[in-house]
Structure 1
C-alpha cells in the first residue's frame, strides 16, 4: 500500500523525530512479541467429532480455516493501515515539537534581552510557568507587553495545545495498532491449527482416497477429468475491466493456494480476486466479505466474466465468474487455482466491481 506520509522537511531536528518514531516502533514491537499464540476461547485446532464421511470433516476444517484466513486478512490489512497512521502521527508530533521549540526560543531571546536590561516583563516569565495556558486565561497583565509579544505568547500556547492533541491521537492510534497486531497473531494461530488438523486427517486416508479428494470440490463431487470439454472463450467479451480481470484470473490457473497470499506465485481466494483486478487497474478490498460489497449485485443468470461469486452466508469464499457456468478460484491448501462450477457451494451474492 502506498504511503501518504509527508516528506521530511529540510532542517528538521533528527533527534526529535528519531525519539518519537523509536518510541512508537518499540511499543508496537513489544505488543507484537507479547501477543498470545493461542486461538480464541472455544476454538480448538482439531475439528470436533462429526457424523458423516472423512470428506465432510475435511470440508468443515477447510471452511473453518478459510473463515479464519479472511479474519487474518482483515486484521492484517487494518494493521498495515494503522502502521501508516502511526508514522504520519509521529511525523506531525515531531514537526509540532520543533515548532514549539522554535517559538519558545524566540520568546526566550526577548526575555533574555529584557533581563540584561534589568527588567523582565512578567508576561514573558510565563515561559517558565508550568501552567502558562491557565495563567493567560486569567491574566490581565498581558496588556503590559507589546501587541506583538502577546500574539507570540498566544501562538505558542495554541501550538502547545495542538501538540498535546497530536500526541494523544498518536497514542490512541498506536494502542489500536497493538490490538490489531494481536488479532493478526490470534487468527494466524487459528488458521495454522485448522490446517494442521486437516493435514493429519487427509494423511490418514488411503492414497486412492486422498487422490479422489483432491479431484473433488468441497461441496460436491465432480468427475476427475476436465470440468467441461470446452473452456469458456473470452476472446469476444470486450476490453472492459471485468474482461481484463477474467483473463488475468485464468492465467493464474494451476498456481498453488497459500493462505494470506495475494500473488503472483500463490493465492488465497480473496487474494486471487484482488490480484486479478489489480492487473486490470482496479483496486479491490482485501477480504471476501468486503469484496461482496465492492460493486453492483446481479443474479447468477446475469453473471458475465469478471463478476465475483461470493459463497456462504458469511461470504467466506469467493471465485470469479469466467463464463460457461464456471468460476476460477483458489480452493484450499493443497489444491491449485482451478475451474469449478459456479454453483459448487451456496452463493451469497454475485458482485460486479
Structure 2
C-alpha cells in the first residue's frame, strides 16, 4: 500500500515545486526520489509531533497529472505555487480544478511570494477564487501593515503555515502517542503545592461549616432564652399580670370545655344550651363597639358609650376567642348556624331592623 502523499506543483517559470520540498525537509539538495510515475517524483517525510508520528510522501510534478489510480487515491494534500504578476500563471493554476475534482484532497493551498492589489491578478481576485474553490492563500513573503505589526498573536504565514497545515491533517497511517508524563521539576512542585493548598482549603471549609452550625444552634437558644426572659419581665412588671394569667387559664379551660361540648353534641348527648358553652348573646356587643371606636376616628363611635377598662376589654376579646375556637370544632353545617347566631346577636345589639335579616333569622330559629 502506497504511503499517503502531499502533491506539489507550480505554474511559475521562476519557481519549481521542489523548492518547497527542500524547505520542508530542511535540506539544500534533495535525495534521490522514488518515481511513482514517470512524471511524479516523491520524497519521504517523517512527521513527528507531540501527539502522533507518521510517514508520508512529498510528491512533485511539472505537469497536470494525478498519476495512476493508486497514486490518485493516496493524495491527501495539494499545494500549488503561482505568480500573481503573470496572468497565465493563475490560469494554469485554475486548470488543475478538473483533476482535483476526481481525487478531492482535504488540504488545498495556493501559494505565492506576495499577493498585492496592484498585481495582474489582484489580491482580492485571488482571495475570491480561493474561497469559491476551497483553497487557502499562503504568501511566502506577505506585506505586513501596522495592525499586523501590533498584533500580540500574529497569524502564521509562509512556509510555517504550510507545515502547520500538513501537521494538522489527520493522516490515515498516523500512530498516536501516549500522553507524556510531566517531567518539569517546576511543574511537579507547583502541582504538589496546589494539592496541599486544596487539602488545606477543604479542612478550613469543614471547620467553618461546623462553626456555622454551632453558632446557629447557640443563636436559636439565645433567642428562646431572651424571649422567655422578656415574658417573665413583662409579667413581673405588669399590675394585671396575675389577672391576665388567670384569664389565659380560664380561656384555655373554656376552649377545652367548648371542644368537649362539641364532641358531646356530635354524639347526641348534649345541646348548645349546656353549661360551659359561650353563646353569642353572652357578648356585650355595644360595649365592644364602643371600646373599638373610643379613639373617635370610627364612624360607628356613637353606637357605644361605655368606657371599658383594660380588664373588661381583655375579657371581651377572650370571649371572642372562645367563640372562634368553638366554631372551628363544629361540623360545616353547625358552624354555619353558629355564625348566623353570632351575626343576629350583633345585629340586634346595634339596633338593626329585624325585618332586614330576612331568611337568616328564620333559619337560625
TM-score by length of 2: 0.18
- From the two aligned structures, give the one with the greater strand fraction: 2
Could you say which structure has the larger radius of gyration?
2
**Which protein, 1 or 2, shows the higher relative CO under an 8 Å CA cutoff with sep ≥ 6?**
1
